[in-house]
Structure 1
Amino acid sequence: MKINHKMAMALVGLTAATTFNAQASYDDFGCGWQDDCPLNGVPWLNIDNDTRVNLIQLEGARKNLALPRLPVPPDFTRSRSYHFGFIGYNDLPHPTATPSTENTTPAPVAETSFSKMSQALGVDTSSWEHDQDAENRHISNNLQSVEQFFAALLDDPTIKPEDRHHLAVWRGNIFLNSYDKADSRLPVEAFDIEPGSRTAAFSDYLRGANVFYLGDFVEANSLFTALQKSSQPWVAETSSYMLMRVALNKSTVKATDEYGMFDATKIDTGAASEARDYANAYLATWPEGRYADSARGLLRRINWYLQDWQQLAPLYEKALAQAPDVDSLHKVISELDDKFQSRDSFGNYEPFISDAQAPMLTFTQTLRWLRNNQGQNKSYEVTRENLDSLKPIFASAELQPYWSFLENTWLYYHEGNYAAVIEATPSINLLASSDLLAFSQQVLHGDALAAQKQWPEALAHWKHLLGLTQSVEQQQYIQLNLAAVMVNNQQPEAIFAADSPVTNLRYRSLVLKTAAPKALLQQQATHGVNDEEKTIALHTLLMRDLMVGDYEGYDTDKSLRRHITKPVTLEAFNDVNLDIFNWNGERAEKGYFCASLDDTVKTLIARKTDAHALNCLGEFFRNTAAHIDTEAEGGGNDLLGDAIAKPALSNSPDRQAYYQQIINDPKAEPEDKTYALYRAVMCYSPSGYNDCGGEEVKPETRKHWFTVLKTKYKGNQWEKLLSYYW
C-alpha cells in the first residue's frame, strides 16, 4: 500500500511520568519539598519530623545513601551555619548529583549517540529542542522517545534503509509538530509498504500513536490491540504498554476541566480498571521490560484514581524498597505522601492506619499519629490496644526492632513513662553508621533521662554516644543535646571547658548570648578558642553591661577588645560587629546634641541618672539598632532552644525605661524632659505597638505624655514635631 507522512502525526512517548500532581497535605507542614522548599528535621526518627523526612532518612540509611543536607563547614569552631535542620532538595548539596563545572557548554550534538543514529538515518536533528510545556498525553513526545524509536528502526535488519529514513523523518515531523504547519520542513515522499511486514508494523504503530495524540482512544485501542502480537518485538511490547496509556487517558477525559484543573472524583472508573488490567498484563509479560518502571508508576496512579488503598500500600512499599538513588527516593516519597499517607489531610479520604504488606509505611505513619496525639488533630489515637495490633505486621516481616521503637516512642510521648523508656533502651557499645533505628533508640534514652532531670546520667549518656557515632549529623546533634543538658543543669560554663565535647560555634554562641553569666562572658572574651568566639562573647558582654546599667563594667570590659587578634568583619558575623560601640554621637535626632558612646558612659558613671546622658544612650540604641541578635543561631536547636528560654534574658535594650525615668525626674532639664516625652510617644509610632523595648504602656499613659508636652511645653521644638499619640 501507499502511505504518506500526513497519515502519522504523533508518536507515543516511551517513558511516562510516574508522579502526578494534586494538592497535597504534606503532613500539614504546607511545604511542597521543592527546590526552594526543603524540610526541617532532626537526624533521628522523631515524631516531630515531617513523615517525608523520617521516610527519606529511614530508607536512605537502609540503602546507605547520602542525603542532601546543609554543607558541613570546614571548621565548626568558626561557623554557625550548620544546624538541624534542612533535609533538602536541589537547593542543598546533593551527593548523588554530578558536580557542576565552570564549562556548562553542552557537548556537540555530533558526539552523542542520538546524533549518530540521526546521521545513520539521514535526518538532521541538530536544532531539535524538546517542548518543556508539553502536558498530559503529549508530555512524552520528547527527544528520548525519538531516540528509542530511531534505535528500534536501526536494530531491525529487515527494514530497508530507505524505509528507515522515511519512518525516521516521519517521526521527526511528529516531534516537531510540523503536521500543524503548512510549510512542513521535513517532507516525506510516499513509499511502498508490504502488508504484514515489519515496516508495516512500524507504520501501523505510528498510525496508532497519531490517533492517540489526537484523542481518538477507541481507534488507538483497536490499532494497538492488533499490534500486540506483531512479530516486531519493539512494536509488540510498546503497543502492549500503550494500551494501558490509552485506557488511562480515556479515564481522565471528564476529570479535567477547560482550565486544566483535575478532579479525581470524576474519573471513569471503568476505563481506569481497564488500564490496571493492561498494566498488570504488561508487567506479567515483560516484568523487566523497557517500560516496567513507568508501568509500575502508572499502576500506582491508576489505583489512586480508583481509590484502591489496599492495592496502593504494597505498591508504595515496593517502590520505596526499589528506589536506587536519592532522586528516585525523593520522587517516590513525595508521591507517597501526596497520594497515600497524608490523604486524610485533604478531601474526605479515610486515613491510612496500617497494612500488613507495608511495614515501613505502617511504621512512619504510626510516628505521625503519635505526633497528632500531642495536638488538636486526634482523628486517630495510638492506644495500647492499637499498638499491640501492629506487632504481628513487624514480626512477620522480621522487623521486630521497629515495633519496639514504636512502643518506646509511645511510652515516651503518649504515656510519659520515662522510666520504662530508660529501661527498654539500655546503652550500647557499638553503633553501625547506617543503623538509624539503634541511634534513634539511644536518643529516646537520652531524652527520657532529661525528662526526669537526671542531668549527670544524661550527660554521661550523650558523651558515650558521641564516642560511638561516625556520622557528622549525629555527632552535631549529640553536641546539641550535651549543650542543652549543661544549660539545664545550670552549668553553662562546662560548655566552654578545655575538654568540652561541644565545639560547634552555633551552640556555644547561642549559650553565650542567652545563658552566660558575666564572668563567663569575660572569660570567653579573653580566652575564647578563636577570634570569632571572643567577638561574640565581648559583644554580648558590652551589650549586657549597657542594658543593665553597669556603666563601670562597660568602661572596664571594653578593654578586653585587645585580646582579639584579628577583627571579625565577615558578613556572617554582622550581628556581633564591635564597631557599633565606636558610635560618636552622629545621627542623633537633629536638634539634640549627643557626645560619643564612651563619653556618654563616662557621664553615667559619674551621675547614673543624668537625663541628657540617658537620652543619648537611647539615641545610641535607636541609631545603631544594637541588640543581642540570635537570628544567626536561630532554628534547628531542638532541646537547647528550650533550655535557654528558661529563664529568658531580654535581648533588646529598653529605651522606654530611660524616657520614663527622665519624665518622672523632677530635676531633669526641660530640654531633656521634652525630648524624653517626644521619644516616649514616638515609641508607638506608627503601629501603636512599642518598638523601644520594655513593657507596653496603656494608651492613657501615652495620651498623658502627649498632653503634658502639648500644654506644659507648648512651643517647644519637640512639641511642634508631635501631632499624634498612638
Structure 2
Amino acid sequence: MRRIAWLAGTLLGALALPQAAGASGDFGCDPAWRLFNREFNRCSNTALLSPGNDTRVNLLFLVRDRQAAPATRFAYPGENLAEPGLGHNFFSWRMLRGAFYPQAEAEDPEAPYGSRCISLASGTKAFTAAMQANRGLPAGERDKLAAARGTVAKTCGEASAGSLVAPADIASAPGREYLGYLQAADAFYAEQWDAARDGFTRLRASKDSWLAETAAYMVARTELNAAQNAAFDEYGSFDAGKVDKAAVGRARGGFTDYLKRYAQGRYAASASGLVRRTLWLGGDAVGLAREYERLLAATSPTTAAAADLVQEVDNKLLTNEGGRAIDGPLLLATVDLMMMREPYDNGPQPIALAQIVAQEKSFAGRADLYGYVLASHAFYVEKNPAKVLQLLPDDARQPAYAPLAFSRQVLRGMALAAKADRNEAGFWRELLGGANGPYQRPIVELALAMNLERSGRLADVFAPMSPIGETAIREILLQNVAGADLLRSQARDAKRPVHERDLALFTLLHKQLAYGNYAGFVSDSAMLGASASNEGGLWDLLVQDRVPAGLFRKATWSDGYACPALSATAATLTQDPRDVKARLCLGDFYRLNGFDDFGVFADDAMRPKRDELGGTPTLFAGKPTPRGDFYAQIIADPKAGGEDKAYALFRAINCYAPSGSNACGNADVPESQRRTWFQRLKKDHGASPWAQKLRYYW
C-alpha cells in the first residue's frame, strides 16, 4: 500500500520563487544573541518579524495580528516547551505552537497520518452510529454489518485485495445499501478505484441521509486518491508528472458539488481542505495561493487550526517553488522576508527593491505591513538605517502591541542602534511598557542590555530596579563580561534564581584563579554553600540544570603528583604566587576537572562575537594564565626542584598528546622544542617516575 503523503512533494512549475536556504524546517539550534536575524536557524526565531525567522513563525504572527493587542503580560507554558539556553528570547516552531495553543491535542503516533487509512477509525464509528439511527435496519443485520466493518481494517494493514468478509444473508433494503457501502469502502482502502467509485456513486441517491452525504464525499475522495495514486512511491516521494489531471478535475468538481449540497455537512471542513489538495495536484498555483490567503484571513487565530493551516501553507507553497502566484499581503510579506536572507554561495540573491515596489497594489489596505516590508529591506539588504527611521515613525509609548506594530517599533530601535543614536536606550525603556505579547519583552530586554553593555553601563543591567529580568540575558553578561564586584554582588542576591546566583559565583571563582587573584578566591569561596553541586561537568553552564560550583570545594586534586585540596593550594599561592608546587597543583586542578577548554581558557570561537550580547571585553583586569604557562615558567626556573621540574616537563609534553595540538591553552611550541624537553627529561631526570612513564613526544 502506498503512503499518500499530504505533506510531501513540491508545488508544480507554475510557481517560481528561488528557494532560500533553510526556508523552514528543523536544522541546527544555536542562535546568535542579538536582534539582527538574517540567517535561518530553527531556534533563532523571535517575536520580531524578520528574514531569519522560520516562515511558519512569521506567517503565524501575521495571522494572530488580527487579535487585539494583549493588555497583560503573556504567561509562558510549562518547561516541557522550553529549550535550555534560549530563555524566552528565542524559540522553535514547536515551542511557539505550544505557547499559543497549549491545550491542542497531540497527534496519535499510531494513526496512519498522511494516508487514506487515516479515516478508518472515525469512519467505523460514524458507520455504526448511522446504522443505529436507521430504524428500518433490523438489529440482527446491523450486528452482522458492524462485524463485517471490522474486517475492512485488514485491507489497510495488508495492502492487497479487499479483506471484507461480507455477510450473505442481508435482505432488507437499508441493509443492502449499508453492505454496498462496506464493499465500496473496502475497495477504496484496497486501491480499487473503479469499484469504489461505482459503489459510492450508486449510494448518492439513498434515502438514508448519512449514506447519501457520505457517498457524495467519498466519490470525490476516490477520484482524488486515484489521481495521485501513481504520483507517490512507497516511501512518499512525489512525482508531479505522474498525477492523473483528469481525475484531479473530477475530484475538484466532486468536492465543490458536495460543498454546495452540504455547506454545513459532516465533511465540509475536510472537503474544503481537499479542494486545496486538488489545486496543488493540478498545478493551479494561483488558485491555491488565493485560497490560502482567504483562509488565513478567515481562520480564527485563537485556535490550533490557524497553526495547522500555516504548516500546510508552508509545506505546499512557501518553501517549495511558490512566488509569482502569490498576490495576497500576508503571503507576500512572508515570502519577501524570506527572500531577504543572507545569500549562500551560489544561491539566489536577496529580493530587489524594485520587486517589492511592484507589489504595492497587492498590499492595498495594508500600508502598515507594506511599510514594514520596505523598512526590512532597507535595514537588512540596503543597510540604510536612516531610511528605516523615515518609514517607521516612533510609536514606543503604547500600552500594548500586536505582532506587526511591535515588529515595526523593534526594527526602528535597531535602526537607532545602527546609527548609535543617543536616544536608543530611552526608546527601548519606553517600548518595554507595552511589550506584553508572547516573547516580546525578552527581545526588548536584550536590546536594552546590549546598549547598556556597549555604553559601559553594565551595572545598570543588574541594578535593583533594572527592567532586565530575563535570566538568560543576565547570565550571558555575568559569564562573559562582568567584573569581580558585580559577580560577587549577584552571587549574594537572594532575590535572583539559584542558577543565576550559582553561575555568578562559579564565574567569579574561576576567573579569580585564572587571573591570579588568589586572595580573592580564598575569601569568596566562603560563599560556597553546603548544597553546591559538583556534578554535570563543564560543557555549557547556561544550559546545565546545575552549575557545578562545588568543584572548587570538592573535586579531583591529583592523579599521581601529590596535591592538597584546592583551598590549600590557593592559600599557598596567596602567600607566594610563584610557588612551584602550588602552580603545578592548580594546573592539575584545571586538567583533571575539564577547565583546559572552558571559560577564559576556551577558544575565541566559543565566546560571543562582537555584535552579540556579551561580546565586549571582560571587566576582569589582567590576563588569564593557562596551565601551559605554569609548565613553561617552571621549566625555565633554575630554582625549581628536580621532581617538580620533571613533572613540569612531563606535563608540558603531554599537552600535545596524542594529536600534536596544544590542549593547555598557551602558545604552541614546535615539535623540535618538545623533542628537546623529552631528551632533557630522560637525561636529567631519568630516575623520576615521570621520565620512566613517558615514551613519546608529540
Alignment TM-score, normalising by the size of structure 2: 0.81
Name the CA shift for 1:220/1:530 in 2 (closer, same or farther; >3 Å): closer
SS at match of 2:339: helix
Equivalent of 1:203 in 163, 173, 179: 179
Query: 1:353–1:365: 8 Å Cα contact kept in structure 2?
Result: no
Aligned to 1:580: 551
Cα shift readout 1:449-508 (whole Å, capped 9, x = no counterpart): 111122x41110111011123336212222121111100112111112232211233222
Aligned to 2:94: 89
Establish whether residue 332 from structure 1 lines up as the match of residue 332 from structure 2. Answer: no
Establish whether residue 554 from structure 1 lines up as the match of residue 533 from structure 2. Answer: no
Cα shift readout 1:274-322 (whole Å, capped 9, x = no counterpart): 3233233323333332222222222333333333322221222234344
Q: Distance in 1 between matches of 2:524 and 2:156?
A: 79
Task: Tell me the amino acid that sits aligned with residue 690 of structure 1.
Answer: N
Cα shift readout 1:656-700 (whole Å, capped 9, x = no counterpart): 222222223333222222212222222233344433224444444
Greater mean deviation of Cα atoms: 443-452 or 222-231: 222-231
SS at match of 1:642: coil
Provide structure 2 residue ranges, at least 5 long, that are not aligned to the other structure: 12-18, 29-40, 537-542, 601-606
Task: Tell me the amino acid that sits aligned with residue 647 of structure 2.
Answer: Y
Aligned to 2:287: 311
Establish whether residue 60 from structure 1 lines up as the match of residue 32 from structure 2. Answer: no
Q: Distance in 2 between matches of 1:436 and 1:661?
A: 59
Q: Distance in 2 between matches of 1:60 and 1:306?
A: 30
Task: Tell me the amino acid that sits aligned with residue 115 of structure 2.
Answer: N
Query: 1:70–1:87: 8 Å Cα contact kept in structure 2?
Result: no
Q: Distance in 1 between matches of 2:10 and 2:26?
A: 9
Aligned to 1:367: 337
Q: Distance in 1 between matches of 2:247 and 2:170?
A: 37
Equivalent of 1:604 in 573, 577, 581: 573
Equivalent of 2:22 in 20, 28, 47: 28
Aligned to 2:124: 146
Query: 1:241–1:291: 8 Å Cα contact kept in structure 2?
Result: yes
Displacement of 1:424 after TM fit? 2.8
SS at match of 1:675: helix
Aligned to 1:253: 229
Displacement of 1:432 after TM fit? 6.4
Name the CA shift for 1:257/1:82 in 2 (closer, same or farther; >3 Å): closer
Greater mean deviation of Cα atoms: 568-577 or 360-369: 568-577
Name the CA shift for 1:292/1:684 in 2 (closer, same or farther; >3 Å): farther
Aligned to 1:243: 219
Query: 2:534–2:549: 8 Å Cα contact kept in structure 1?
Result: no
Query: 2:553–2:566: 8 Å Cα contact kept in structure 1?
Result: yes
Task: Tell me the amino acid that sits aligned with residue 297 of structure 1.
Answer: G
SS at match of 1:686: coil
Cα shift readout 1:117-151 (whole Å, capped 9, x = no counterpart): xxxxxxxxxxxx99745873333211x21121122
SS at match of 2:51: coil
Task: Tell me the amino acid that sits aligned with residue 314 of structure 1.
Answer: R
Displacement of 1:567 after TM fit? 5.9
SS at match of 1:147: helix
Q: Distance in 1 between matches of 2:608 and 2:679?
A: 48
Name the CA shift for 1:68/1:426 in 2 (closer, same or farther; >3 Å): closer
Query: 2:67–2:402: 8 Å Cα contact kept in structure 1?
Result: no
Establish whether residue 384 from structure 1 lines up as the match of residue 384 from structure 2. Answer: no
Aligned to 1:13: none
Q: Distance in 2 between matches of 1:278 and 1:310?
A: 20
Name the CA shift for 1:44/1:81 in 2 (closer, same or farther; >3 Å): closer
Cα shift readout 1:565-598 (whole Å, capped 9, x = no counterpart): 98689988776444322258x54121x1113323
Name the CA shift for 1:268/1:93 in 2 (closer, same or farther; >3 Å): closer
Establish whether residue 446 from structure 1 lines up as the match of residue 424 from structure 2. Answer: no
Equivalent of 2:650 in 678, 692, 701: 678
Q: Distance in 1 between matches of 2:230 and 2:401?
A: 48
Task: Tell me the amino acid that sits aligned with residue 43 of structure 1.
Answer: A
Name the CA shift for 1:339/1:527 in 2 (closer, same or farther; >3 Å): closer
Cα shift readout 1:600-636 (whole Å, capped 9, x = no counterpart): 2233334333322211110111223358669xxxxxx
Query: 1:317–1:361: 8 Å Cα contact kept in structure 2?
Result: yes
Equivalent of 2:362 in 374, 393, 401: 393
SS at match of 2:200: helix
Greater mean deviation of Cα atoms: 605-614 or 58-67: 58-67
Aligned to 1:223: 199
Query: 1:369–1:382: 8 Å Cα contact kept in structure 2?
Result: yes
Name the CA shift for 1:332/1:130 in 2 (closer, same or farther; >3 Å): closer
Task: Tell me the amino acid that sits aligned with residue 291 of structure 2.
Answer: L
Equivalent runs, 1:595-634 vs 2, <5 Å: 595-626=564-595
Query: 2:608–2:614: 8 Å Cα contact kept in structure 1?
Result: no
Establish whether residue 538 from structure 1 lines up as the match of residue 505 from structure 2. Answer: yes
SS at match of 2:94: coil
Higher helix share: 1
Name the CA shift for 1:629/1:19 in 2 (closer, same or farther; >3 Å): farther
Aligned to 2:48: 44
Query: 1:221–1:243: 8 Å Cα contact kept in structure 2?
Result: yes
Query: 1:372–1:378: 8 Å Cα contact kept in structure 2?
Result: no
Name the CA shift for 1:495/1:55 in 2 (closer, same or farther; >3 Å): same
Query: 2:400–2:433: 8 Å Cα contact kept in structure 1?
Result: no
Q: Distance in 2 between matches of 1:267 and 1:253?
A: 8
Displacement of 1:416 after TM fit? 1.6
Displacement of 1:261 after TM fit? 4.6
Q: Distance in 2 between matches of 1:31 and 1:150?
A: 40
Query: 1:462–1:482: 8 Å Cα contact kept in structure 2?
Result: yes
SS at match of 1:483: helix
Aligned to 1:463: 429
What do you get for the CA RMSD once the two structures are aligned? 4.1
Task: Tell me the amino acid that sits aligned with residue 126 of structure 2.
Answer: Q
Displacement of 1:207 after TM fit? 2.7
Provide structure 1 residue ranges, at least 5 long, that are not aligned to the other structure: 1-15, 74-78, 101-128, 345-350, 631-636
Equivalent of 1:271 in 235, 239, 247: 247
Equivalent of 2:373 in 387, 390, 406: 406
SS at match of 1:427: coil
Aligned to 2:171: 192
Aligned to 2:34: none
Name the CA shift for 1:149/1:322 in 2 (closer, same or farther; >3 Å): farther
Cα shift readout 1:514-534 (whole Å, capped 9, x = no counterpart): 111233334444567448455
Alignment TM-score, normalising by the size of structure 1: 0.78
SS at match of 1:471: coil
Displacement of 1:328 after TM fit? 2.4
